[in-house]
């Protein structure tokens, strides 16, 4: 059991609602930021419990921001925690956030869970996450729900949208640049980690991949690059 899961189980503070298996994923990707000056942004304040959890986990140098459409969430602010009220589907609102927040190290998308919201948030804020930061979208299960604008293989679901990111990750090797070319995403995404209902994108500045060989041939003509 990691520290986040232990905090969740023993929580007597504000209400937290999370799938149990998320805590392993969180700790795996978040642990390197602990004890540092880190800015964490979470969409979906709910009762404020997860914001308190991040504050406890990352430590006294962390700045935690919550984003929610419900104006009542504003009263959940406390030391190290600031909350902005706005519509996640409003791209103008999303575009206003980086100026207010500054550098974002970790963005956790746990907001309204509709396909339009998940896609809009990614498109407007991914490139505002620090070049060595993390973008995490959770509750991807809604991609399979018509209620949220999804459905299995629905072209508008975030799952189908994120499958295209796999292609973008490999765009260096595309033979048809008119269909698939290198983009800012290709140059900024080190890896995509898919878990049950979670996508974590690890950012890192990426140069064009290259390969090399070392050592010598033992068997003549054994190696055929074709």
Residue 211 lies in a domain: no
Q: What is the pLDDT of residue 218?
A: 79
Residue 220 lies in a domain: no
Return the active site residues: 113
Range of the structural domain that residue 40 is part of: 3-203
pTM for the model stands at 0.94
Q: What is the mean pLDDT of residues 206-212?
A: 95
pLDDT tens digit sequence for 73-105: 999 999 999 999 999 999 999 999 999 999 999
Asked if 107 and 88 count as a contact pair (C-beta separation under 8 A), the reply is no
Residue 106 lies in a domain: yes
Residue 216 lies in a domain: no
Q: Quick check: 225 pLDDT over 70?
A: no
pLDDT tens digit sequence for 161-179: 999 999 999 999 999 999 9
- Alpha helices, DSSP H only, in the chain? 3-10, 22-30, 49-58, 91-101, 115-125, 158-169, 184-188
In which order are the strands placed within the sheet that holds 189-195?
A: 81-85, 63-68, 39-43, 104-109, 129-138, 198-203, 189-195
Kindly report the number of other CB atoms within 10 A of residue 221's CB atom. 6
Q: What is the mean pLDDT of residues 210-226?
A: 77
Count: domains in the chain: 1
Q: What is the pLDDT of residue 203?
A: 98
H/E segment holding residue 42: strand 39-43
Residue 65 lies in a domain: yes
Residue 131 lies in a domain: yes
What CATH number does the domain containing 36 carry? 3.40.50.150
């Amino acid at each position: 059991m990691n520290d986040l899961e232990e905090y969740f189980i023993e929580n007597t503070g504000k209400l937290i609602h999370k799938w149990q298996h998320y805590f392993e994923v969180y700790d795996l990707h978040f642990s390197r930021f602990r004890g540092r000056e880190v800015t964490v942004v979470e969409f979906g304040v709910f009762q404020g419990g997860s914001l308190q959890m991040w504050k406890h986990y990352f430590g006294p140098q962390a700045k935690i921001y919550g984003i929610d459409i419900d104006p009542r969430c504003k009263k959940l602010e406390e030391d190290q925690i600031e909350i902005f009220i706005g519509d996640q589907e409003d791209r103008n609102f999303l575009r206003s956030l980086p100026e207010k927040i500054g550098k974002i190290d970790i963005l956790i998308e746990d907001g309204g869970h509709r396909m339009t919201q998940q896609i809009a948030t990614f498109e407007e804020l991914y490139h505002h996450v620090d070049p060595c930061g993390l973008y995490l979208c959770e509750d991807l299960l809604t991609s399979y729900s018509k209620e949220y604008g999804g459905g299995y293989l629905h072209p508008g679901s975030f799952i189908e949208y994120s499958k295209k990111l796999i292609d973008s990750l490999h765009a260096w090797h595309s033979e048809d640049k008119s269909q698939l070319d290198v983009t800012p995403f290709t140059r900024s995404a080190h890896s995509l980690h898919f878990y049950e209902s979670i996508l974590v994108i690890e950012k890192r500045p990426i140069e064009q991949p290259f390969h090399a060989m070392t050592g010598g041939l033992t068997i003549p003509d054994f190696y055929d690059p074709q």
